[in-house]
């Protein structure tokens, strides 16, 4: 049992996680009318936070990425035996850092692209609070602490969608909130059950991973079921995904990007970090169900994409398909599969985040995302058109770009699932999942062909000569259409670079994750008789 | 160990630079190309030239290595076999295979890891990769030179060169791939670039549709590549890891497949899956339909795609991991296998379609499909070397044919590719183009002493030699058909009376513009350029040197490349340099893999060559303990003019028949066959069947794609919105209704009543707060209990 911990520099995680609150505190005392100042504080705060993240990357001991580092374990709520236990290993490091970078870039993007409802003060405060919740979820090593951070994320996102969202924001935000709450309730019940079943001694991950494996198989299955629903809603897995298209479509661009890049990963991370190692036998019993639902999600999400007429909704549905690959990898319980899932989580965050950025900018320029009205973007905005093409290619899993390394190893791993899982079933799942890559190519290229190729829709063509006497020249539709702005370049370039770098040299991430994943799978194997 | 005494050299050790340089060139074109005086094409040309230079260096060193291996073999085996090899390596043996095992130059660096296993990226240089490295860099360089003239003035000139350069880089990555993942990388980069290049003039819906179709069809085949790689990986991995390698390594896969320890069903299914990928990429029946549509791209693209890159990728895949197919499909042991069936059908089906095309490029496209069928057939009948040799010769003459077609359209028919409307009689106006075309056609038809004869005839001959009698006849009939459709195209283009643009008519006269024509019109710059071009030269004329020079070079290679392996004149160079030796060699476990070092699987030549047919040797008997095989031991048919006679006669018959018919049908004279399709019902239906490409496109696009994209996707979405979401909304609504009802009836009346009552009682007893608090705890408990109940119901549903 390799649970050695490293406690060097252990102030880093606490500072990195709670630093955004300093910015929040500062902004409380500045009137909302000073919008520029708020944006500046937001950018500076998240930049400093990201700098702490960079420092964390530098101080991380890559030779021991399977052990928890920067480890802190101090008393918190002793009455329920919950401690403030935090730490970072190869599994959580990429996600922790990703959350910081994404928040910074979204903050930069906000400089020029405040959603219509205005009030940057509240908007930025919410984003900073959101960042605390996200980073906290990835460092928590105690179930109650994790649950608190997990729930902290919910409220800011609810308000971001509900206040700054699109036309049906009320419906979407409420649906998001209630759906996730429903999952959380079951998850909490499962957490408590696990706590009591292991003798009510501690909520620490390390303890539960050791003691949880000893629980009776049937009990494990029931507890796993509760966690399954909680995490599956967050991922989201078919059939718990219906909140996602609405939330994504209605959310402001910033909300969509954060939602896709980080929030969904809380669910998959929960499976890898909590549900599977703590309940190995439950995981094994549930693995085929997860695998089947994952593959249904791949095909079903792709079909959903093909039926869309709205660009943003299409991208939202593609998340269902992509997270299906992630869950398929996890459900094999193999090193290959879980590595692929973790890689896929980061890759999906970067790529789908990028796609949502592009969708936001298209909406900003054309005031519509109706695919049938968009056309010839490559003529009107060549650079934006190229970026869309690049992100689409990355999204469909082109080797050499990040998406491939989440997708192909996941498919590969299904050929040989671990721990005596039904090989025949998984091989069928593998082939169906591979067919899903064809559908991914279909909906993404189809989207690209219709929006980027061809000639611009005359409706938006500012340069098109209006026939004389065509009469009323209503407000000029094409007036806002311009290519990528400098602020957009600053916010997007790191995404674009990361997609290429991780695609060309995936070892950068596999090297960090693999030892931790191997240790995890070994621990799971030890718990399965 | 003996392998270490093989000669090597800087170029061989650093062959990985060959794909890297164009990849960097691509980045330069993208970022700085627009600011350069030549629009970035200088980066493309420079990087291709540099890669070509390294490829030439590597080829020379490889030949030296082969020679040194042969002499080493001589020393090692002493006097027993020494005299038998006295003529090696320059002449080879009769029916010869190169005798000595030549250790490939393998280098690998860690690329990614999983489960503690490290997987590499690197180079695997053997005869096959050397041949293709040289071929691809050479053809790419010529095509880029040609393109500087052909697409000059195009609005996306820079992007064109960027995509072209990346395309070559993709092919080169694949060709020297050390492992399957790297092979997939190159494979998919080519897919992406073909999408960009075929859709180069994407303003027209037809072009972007063709680009989409190409990418999408190949992607369907790629499912096989992903699945096949997974199957083979898990099949080979344990075996390979024991020997210091892994299940992605191409060497390990080959050795494992021939080790006798591989499960036949794993090899079979892995082979089937990989072959599906090859069908998609190499345009084999029934996934060939994207290839003719891909003609929507600019002509240099077609020539590059159809000669040495992209479409030969599928053939290369089969040739690269040949042992998997050899053992998995029991090649040579069974009378028929999947590869021969698909190859055979493709030869005939595509050749038949070439007869009904009006577009000169589409004739060539179907011809490519048909020739790829020959290569596949060759691999399927165990004629590995002739198939690979056919890749080599075909690249030259097919590239020349496409470039000649481009030259015709550029300077002879005003951007039209329609042979019937805008061509005819161009031989007099464009002598260089016509001559190079006809030389290349002769090579394609397999007329003796042109290169195609030496490669194609070997495939046909070996089919019979290895007992595939039926496919011998398929090959012969295909050869006759090839000769016939090429004669028809030649007649329509270069002979007879000039028509349309070839007669000097201005292109505005025929407003029913063709795709390519319309696409050109889409580019104001381009068209403007050509308008003043044509202002100076009225009517058809010869193309400028940047077009004709590559043509002349390629046409001369269309003659001479065949003599590298011309049994008729007794040369075997190609066999010696390219064919891997099918001998068992000692596995050397001592070496361990470290970054950049030679690969762990190192071997020394050991076993003597076995004589006497197919009963023994690699691929037939299990290699002894401590030895491994990398390639099956194949014998070659011996050339004899008497055996070549049937194909020569059939080709001659095809040419004469077609010439006679073409002159009759398309010429001025009255002819009984003229207008046959409008008179005879059977002929009309047959013609329609061919014109509609066997209705495969109707099946794919009209039925399958339409069904998935429309009713099925819509149905799935309907279920999503109305059933899944309906449940959610229903739960939400009923939850709210329940809440309201509870509030109205329970909370306000019962609980609150109780609370009020108890409060009343409490206040009377003087203990006001206690019961209210405990009441709240009860409510929370009830809430949690309720949530858990709902959860339990859902779980039961899910568990089912």
Tell me: the pLDDT tens digits for A356-402? 999 998 888 888 888 888 888 888 888 898 999 999 999 988 898 99
The interface predicted TM-score of the complex, written ipTM, equals: 0.89
pLDDT at B158: 86
> Higher confidence at residue B538 or residue B47?
B47
Task: State pLDDT tens for residues B374-406.
Answer: 999 998 888 888 899 999 999 888 888 888 888
Label residue B531 by pLDDT band (50, 70, 90). Answer: very low
A229, B795: Cβ pair inside 8 Å?
A: yes
Q: Please report which confidence band the pLDDT of residue B779 belongs to, taking 50, 70 and 90 as the band edges.
A: low
- B327 pLDDT more than 90: no
Q: What is the DSSP string of B592-660?
A: ---TTSBPS-EEE--SPPP-STTSSSTTTSPPPTTEE-SS-----PPP-HHHHHHHHHHHHHHHHHHHH
The residue of chain A nearest to residue B225, with distances taken between CA atoms, is: A434
Structural domain boundaries in chain B: 2-506+514-523+544-581+636-641, 692-749
Give domain status of residue A473, yes or no: no
B418 three-class SS: strand
Please judge whether B115 and A334 are an interchain contact, meaning their C-beta atoms are less than 8 angstroms apart.
Answer: yes
Q: Write out the residue range of the structural domain in which residue A365 sits.
A: 11-462+482-527
DSSP B773: H
Q: Is the pLDDT of residue B498 over 50?
A: yes
Which tops the pLDDT comparison, B766 or A442? A442
Alpha helices in A307-401 (DSSP H): 311-331, 335-366, 377-380, 382-395
Phi, psi of A370 (to 5 degrees): -65, 120
Task: Compare CB distances from A507 to B111, B787, B788 and report the shortest one's residue.
Answer: B111
Give pLDDT, residue B383.
86
Query: In chain B, what residues touch A446 (CB-CB under 8 Å)?
Result: 212, 709
DSSP string, B219-241: HHHHHHHHHHHHHHHHHHHHHHH
| A453/B203 Cβ within 8 A | yes
- B794 contacts on A by Cβ (under 8 Å): 229
In chain B, residues with a C-beta closer than 8 Å to the C-beta of A398 are 188-189, 192
The pLDDT assigned to A93 comes to: 93
Strand ranges (DSSP E) for A5-153?
69-77, 82-88
Q: Which of B163, B221, B226, B290 to mutate to test the interface with A (most CBs of A within 10 A)?
A: B226
Whether the model clears a pTM of 0.90, i.e. scores above it, the answer is no
Separation CA A112–CA B125 (nearest Å): 53
> Which chain B residues are closer than 8 Å to A415 by Cβ?
230-231, 233-234
Nearest 5 degrees, angle CA A484-CA A488-CA A494? Answer: 120
Most confident of A363-372, B524-533, B745-754: A363-372
Residue A430: list chain B partners with CB under 8 A. 227, 230
Count other C-beta atoms under 10 Å from residue A40's C-beta. 13
Sheet of B602-604, strand order: B602-604, B585-588, B627-628
Cβ separation of B114 and A409 shorter than 8 Å?
yes
A404 chain-B contacts, CB cut-off 8 A: 188
Q: Measured between CB atoms, does A525 come within 8 Å of chain B?
A: no
- Chain A residues with CB under 8 Å of B238 CB are none
Q: What is the mean pLDDT of residues B439-445?
A: 88
Q: What is the pLDDT of residue B550?
A: 84
Partner-chain contact B199 A453, CB within 8 Å? yes
Euclidean distance between CA atoms A220 and A218, whole angstroms: 5
Rounded to 5 degrees, what are φ and ψ at A422? -65, 105
Indicate the SS3 state at residue A119: coil
Strand partners, B339: none
Q: Taking CA atoms, what residue in A is nearest to B791?
A: A186
Asked if residue A140 is part of any domain, the answer here is yes
Question: Looking at chain A, how many residues does it have?
Answer: 529
Report, as an integer, the average pLDDT of B504-527.
43
Angle subtended by helix axes B469-494 and B451-465, to nearest 10: 160
Q: Which helix (H) or strand (E) holds B109?
A: strand B105-114
Give the DSSP per-residue string, B68-101.
HHHHHHHHHHHHHHHGGGTTTTTT--TT----S-
Residues B517, B351: Cα–Cα separation, whole Å: 26
Q: Given this model, what pLDDT does residue A521 score?
A: 92
Is A209 contained in some domain?
yes
- Could you tell me which of B274, B279, B300 has the C-alpha nearest to residue B291? B279
Partner-chain residue, chosen from A304, A378, A449, that has the shortest CB–CB distance to B716: A304
Dump pLDDT digits (tens) for B142-163. 888 888 878 877 778 888 888 8
CA–CA gap between residue B766 and residue B759 (Å, rounded):
10
Record: contact B208-A454, CB cut-off 8 A:
yes
Cβ B373 vs Cβ B478: under 8 Å: yes
* Residues B230, A438: C-beta atoms closer than 8 Å: no
DSSP label at residue B510: -
| Helices assigned H by DSSP within A396-506 | 402-413, 423-452, 486-504
Q: What DSSP state is assigned to residue A310?
A: B
- Note whether A210 and A286 are within 8 A (CB): no
Distance of alpha carbon A306 from alpha carbon B712, whole angstroms: 9
| Structural domain includes residue A5 | no
- Tell me the three state secondary structure of residue A465: coil
Residue B777 has pLDDT above 70, yes or no: no
Q: Is the pLDDT of residue B773 over 60?
A: no
Give how far A381 is from chain B: nearest CA, Å: 14
Q: Tens of pLDDT along B117-132?
A: 888 888 888 889 999 9
CB-CB contact of A356 with A441 (8 Å): no
Of B577, B151, B625, B627, the residue nearest B406 (C-alpha) = B151
Asked if A243's CB is within 8 angstroms of B717's CB, the reply is: no
**Residues in A touching B705 (Cβ below 8 Å):** 442
Task: Indicate which of B791, B794, B796, B797 best probes the interface with A, i.e. most A CBs within 10 Å of its own CB.
Answer: B791
Query: CA A407, A410, A415, A416: dihedral to nearest 10 degrees?
Result: 160
What residues in A contact B799, CB-CB < 8 Å?
225, 289
Domain presence at residue A521: yes
CA distance A163 to A39: 18
* Helices and strands in chain B, H and E counts: 34, 5
Q: What is the DSSP string of A360-382?
A: HHHHHHHS--BGGG---HHHH-H
Please give the angle made by the CA atoms of B292, B295 and B300, to the nearest 5 degrees: 135
- Contact assessment for residue A394 and residue A501, using Cβ atoms and an 8 Å cutoff: no
Give me chain B's average pLDDT, please: 76
Question: For residue A287, what is the nearest residue in chain B, using CA coordinates?
Answer: B799
Alpha carbons A212 and A205: distance in angstroms, whole number: 10
Q: What phi and psi values does residue B603 have, to the nearest 5 degrees?
A: -140, 155
* Residue closest to B312 by CA, chosen among B185, B558, B161, B128: B128
- What does the angle CA A428 – CA A431 – CA A436 come to, to the nearest 5 degrees? 125
Find all residues with CB under 8 Å of A452, minimum gap 6, and list them: A376, A377, A378, A385, A388, A389, B202
Distance separating alpha carbons of residues B225 and B270, to the nearest angstrom = 9
pLDDT digits (tens, 9 = 90+) for B669-713: 566 666 666 666 677 777 777 777 777 777 777 677 777 767 777
CA angle (B195 as vertex; B189, B199 as ends), nearest 5 = 150
Sign of torsion over alpha carbons B154, B157, B161, B166: negative
Residues 6+ apart with CB under 8 A from A513: A65, A90, A91, A94, A339, A342, A343
Q: Identify the closest residue of chain B to A455 by CA–CA distance.
A: B203
Compute the distance between CA of residue B240 and CA of residue A402 in angstroms, rounded to an integer. Answer: 27
- Phi, then psi, of B113 in degrees rounded to 5: -145, 160
Asked if B89 and B77 count as a contact pair (C-beta separation under 8 A), the reply is: no
Let me know the angle formed at the C-alpha of A397 by A100 and A453, rounded to the nearest 5 degrees: 100
d(CA B181, CA B186): 9
Nearest to A438 among B220, B714, B791 (CB): B220
Residue A232 lies in a domain: yes
DSSP secondary-structure letter at A339? H
**Count of domains forming chain A:** 1
Shortest distance, CA A389 to any CA of chain B (angstroms): 10
Answer whether A249 touches B (CB < 8 Å): no
How many beta-carbon contacts under 8 Å exist across A and B?
Answer: 167
**Within a domain: residue A470?**
no
Is the Cβ pair A306, B709 closer than 8 Å? yes
Low-confidence ranges of chain A (pLDDT < 50): 1-2, 464-475
Whether residue A242 and residue B725 make contact (CB cut-off 8 A), yes or no, is yes
Residue B362 CA neighbour count, 13 Å, CB half:
23
């Amino acid at each position: 049992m390799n649970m050695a911990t490293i406690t060097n520099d252990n102030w880093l995680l606490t500072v990195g996680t709670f630093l955004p609150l300093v910015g929040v505190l500062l902004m409380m005392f500045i009137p909302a009318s000073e919008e520029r100042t708020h944006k500046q504080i937001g950018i500076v705060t998240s930049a400093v936070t990201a700098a702490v993240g960079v420092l964390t990357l530098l101080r991380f001991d890559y030779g021991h990425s399977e052990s928890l580092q920067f480890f802190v374990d101090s008393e918190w709520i002793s009455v329920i035996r919950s401690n403030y236990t935090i730490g970072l290993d190869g599994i959580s490091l990429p996600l922790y850092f990703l959350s910081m970078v994404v928040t910074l870039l979204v903050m930069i993007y906000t400089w020029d692209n405040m959603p219509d409802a205005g009030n940057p003060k509240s908007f930025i405060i919410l984003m900073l609070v959101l960042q605390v919740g996200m980073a906290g979820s990835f460092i928590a090593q105690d179930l109650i602490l994790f649950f608190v951070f997990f729930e902290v994320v919910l409220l800011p996102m609810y308000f971001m969608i509900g206040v700054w969202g699109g036309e049906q924001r009320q419906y979407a935000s409420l649906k998001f909130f209630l759906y996730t709450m429903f999952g959380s309730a079951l998850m909490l019940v499962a957490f408590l059950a696990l706590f009591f079943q292991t003798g009510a001694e501690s909520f620490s991950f390390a303890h539960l991973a050791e003691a949880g494996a000893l629980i009776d198989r049937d009990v494990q299955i029931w507890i796993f079921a509760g966690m399954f629903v909680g995490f599956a809603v967050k991922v989201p897995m078919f059939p718990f995904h219906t909140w996602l298209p609405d939330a994504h479509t209605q959310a402001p661009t910033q909300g969509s990007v954060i939602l896709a890049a980080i929030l969904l990963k809380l669910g998959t991370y929960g499976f890898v970090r909590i549900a599977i190692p703590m309940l190995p036998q439950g995981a094994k019993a549930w693995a085929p169900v997860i695998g089947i639902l994952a593959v249904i999600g791949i095909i079903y999400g792709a079909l959903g994409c093909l039926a869309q007429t709205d660009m943003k909704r299409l991208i939202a549905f593609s998340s269902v398909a992509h997270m299906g690959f992630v869950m398929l990898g996890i459900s094999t319980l193999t090193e290959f599969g879980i590595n692929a899932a973790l890689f896929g989580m980061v890759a999906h965050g970067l790529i789908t985040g990028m796609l949502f950025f592009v969708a936001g900018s298209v909406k900003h320029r054309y005031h519509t995302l109706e695919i049938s009205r968009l056309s010839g973007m490559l003529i009107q905005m060549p650079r934006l058109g190229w970026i869309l093409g690049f992100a689409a290619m990355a999204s469909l899993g082109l080797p050499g770009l990040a998406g491939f390394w989440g997708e192909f190893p996941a498919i590969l791993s299904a050929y040989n699932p671990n721990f005596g899982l039904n090989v025949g079933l998984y091989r069928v799942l593998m082939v169906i999942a591979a067919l899903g890559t064809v559908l991914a190519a279909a909906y993404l290229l189809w989207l690209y062909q219709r929006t980027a190729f061809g000639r611009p829709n005359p409706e938006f063509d500012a340069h098109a000569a209006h026939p004389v006497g065509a009469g009323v020249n209503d407000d000029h539709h094409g007036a806002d259409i311009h290519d990528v702005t400098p602020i957009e370049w600053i916010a997007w370039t790191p995404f674009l670079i990361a997609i290429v770098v991780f695609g060309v040299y995936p070892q950068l991430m596999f090297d960090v994750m693999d030892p931790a994943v191997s240790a995890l799978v070994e621990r799971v194997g030890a718990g399965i008789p | 160990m003996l392998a270490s005494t093989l000669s090597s050299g800087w170029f061989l050790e650093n062959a990985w630079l060959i794909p890297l340089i164009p990849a960097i060139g691509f980045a330069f074109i993208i970022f700085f190309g627009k600011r350069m005086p030549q629009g970035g094409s200088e980066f493309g040309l420079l990087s291709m030239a540099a890669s070509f230079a390294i490829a030439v260096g590597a080829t020379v060193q490889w030949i030296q290595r082969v020679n040194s291996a042969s002499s080493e073999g001589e020393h090692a085996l002493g006097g027993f076999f020494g005299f038998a090899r006295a003529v090696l390596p320059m002449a080879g043996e009769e029916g010869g295979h190169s005798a000595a095992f030549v250790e490939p130059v393998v280098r690998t660096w860690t690329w990614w890891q999983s489960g503690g296993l490290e997987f590499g990226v690197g180079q695997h240089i053997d005869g096959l990769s050397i041949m293709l490295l040289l071929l691809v860099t050479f053809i790419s360089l010529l095509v880029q030179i040609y393109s500087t003239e052909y697409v000059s003035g195009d609005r996306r000139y820079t992007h064109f060169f960027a995509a072209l350069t990346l395309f070559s880089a993709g092919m080169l990555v694949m060709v020297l791939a050390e492992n399957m993942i790297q092979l997939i990388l190159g494979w998919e980069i080519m897919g992406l670039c073909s999408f960009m290049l075929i859709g180069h003039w994407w303003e027209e819906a037809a072009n972007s549709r063709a680009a989409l179709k190409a990418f999408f069809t190949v992607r369907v085949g790629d499912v096989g590549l992903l699945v096949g790689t997974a199957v083979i990986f898990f099949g080979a991995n344990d075996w390979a890891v024991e020997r210091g390698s892994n299940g992605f390594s191409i060497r390990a896969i080959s050795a494992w497949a021939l080790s006798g320890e591989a499960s036949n069903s794993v090899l079979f299914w892995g082979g089937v899956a990989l072959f599906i990928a090859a069908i998609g990429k190499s345009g084999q029946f029934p996934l060939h339909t994207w290839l003719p549509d891909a003609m929507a791209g600019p002509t240099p693209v077609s020539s590059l795609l159809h000669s040495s890159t992209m479409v030969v990728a599928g053939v290369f895949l089969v040739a690269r991991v040949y042992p998997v197919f050899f053992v998995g499909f029991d090649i040579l042991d069974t009378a028929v296998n999947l590869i021969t069936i698909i190859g055979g059908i493709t030869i005939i089906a595509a050749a038949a379609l070439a007869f009904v095309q009006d577009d000169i490029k589409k004739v060539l496209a179907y011809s490519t499909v048909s020739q790829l069928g020959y290569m596949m057939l060759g691999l399927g009948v165990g004629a590995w070397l002739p198939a690979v040799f056919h890749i080599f010769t075909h690249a030259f003459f097919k590239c020349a044919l496409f470039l000649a077609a481009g030259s015709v359209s550029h300077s002879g028919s005003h951007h039209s590719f329609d042979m019937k409307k805008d061509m005819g009689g161009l031989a007099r106006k464009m002598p260089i183009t016509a001559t190079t075309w006809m030389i290349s056609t002769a090579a394609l038809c397999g007329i003796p002493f042109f290169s195609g004869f030496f490669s194609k005839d070997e495939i046909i001959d070996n089919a019979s030699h290895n007992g595939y009698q039926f496919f011998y006849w398929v090959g012969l009939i295909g050869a006759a058909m090839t000769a016939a459709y090429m004669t028809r195209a030649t007649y329509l283009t270069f002979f007879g009376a000039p028509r349309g643009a070839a007669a000097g008519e201005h292109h505005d006269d025929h407003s029913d513009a063709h795709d390519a024509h319309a696409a050109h019109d889409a580019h104001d710059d381009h068209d403007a350029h050509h308008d003043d071009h044509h202002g100076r030269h009225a009517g058809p004329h010869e193309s400028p040197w940047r077009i004709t020079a590559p043509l002349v070079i390629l046409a001369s290679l269309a003659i001479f490349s065949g003599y590298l392996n011309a049994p008729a004149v007794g040369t075997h160079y190609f066999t010696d340099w390219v064919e891997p030796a099918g001998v068992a060699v000692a596995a050397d476990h001592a070496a361990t893999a470290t970054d950049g070092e030679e690969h762990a699987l190192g071997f020394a030549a050991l076993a003597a060559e076995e004589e006497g047919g197919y009963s023994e040797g690699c691929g037939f008997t299990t290699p002894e303990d401590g030895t491994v095989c990398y390639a099956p031991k194949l014998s070659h048919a011996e050339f004899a003019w008497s055996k070549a006679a049937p194909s020569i006669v059939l080709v001659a018959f095809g040419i004469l028949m077609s010439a006679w018919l073409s002159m009759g049908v398309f010429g001025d004279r009255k002819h009984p066959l003229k207008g046959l399709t409008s008179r005879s019902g059977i002929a009309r239906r047959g013609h329609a069947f061919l014109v509609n490409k066997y209705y495969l496109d109707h099946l794919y696009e009209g039925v399958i794609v339409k069904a998935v994209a429309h009713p099925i996707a819509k149905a799935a979405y309907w279920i999503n919105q109305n059933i899944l979401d309906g449940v959610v909304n229903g739960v939400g609504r009923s939850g709210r209704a329940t809440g309201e009802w509870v509030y109205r009836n329970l909370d306000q009346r019962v609980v609150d009543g109780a609370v009020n009552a108890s409060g009343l009682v409490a206040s009377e007893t003087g203990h006001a707060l206690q019961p209210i608090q405990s009441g709240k705890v009860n409510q929370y408990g009830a809430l949690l209990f309720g949530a858990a109940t709902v959860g339990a119901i859902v779980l039961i549903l899910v568990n089912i």
